[in-house]
Chain A
């Protein structure tokens, strides 16, 4: 349909979603399980970026840190404090896991902002898996740590008795909506920002509008830098909140 629209409007061509197409890097074949595609490339770059920051940056183990090392320490301290403050001290066992999520999302988002880049976190396939991992982990941890008492999360004991079954249904629904909102929020934000930038870029084809378009792209880009970080932060802190529910289910 986007094609049709482009054709209808003549010179003005919008392909806001083309940037999200998964395609093989070598050859033109179908995308199989192990095909090397742009997904593979940008995920590998995310790994490389994480490794560069967290391993090469800290390789000198300096007591007085260099810039890269202090950024790595900042990230460490940021997530460590978040896990400790939000989810409690006993959640620190999950700190590497949460750190992994945060570092991956933050670097995937930022690498996606590189012009011509492919944004892995804009795909529901990626974010749904991330959210389901959190959901499954939280549910399992909740039942392992608290047993049947974990179900107390849905039984609001502070509410009047008559209301409790209704509240329980609402709580259960909201519990199962968590992974949905958790994943769609991240992918939706990233996708929306990139699509908007692309739409503005499409307007730049008209010479009169192009200065406005360039300014708008710049402004959106700045906003997207902010959103990239905030969405990673939100994803991480919601993970911590869910983890707190699993570890301390008392309402």
Chain B
């Protein structure tokens, strides 16, 4: 089972600065294990971010994204208390959804 994401969304004016840290091996299919066998590809292919239920970012990734991926985006017109939901899907069909609340500017 995939581990939870860490999501931070902080307001800067009317823009929410969203930072997401996912936990995923992101295997390229080029790496060999200790026995010399190729480790099969295993990577996140799709990430969908919604703001109050509306899709703001729909990302498609290859195995070139680093292990434990970081994703940063900015959402205009956000307010404190808004809901950010992030869902990723990998090439094995695993999924993980987490949500966060937009925090007021500090």
Q: Do A and B come from one complex?
A: no
Interface residues of B (CB under 8 A from A): none
Interface residues of A (CB under 8 A from B): none
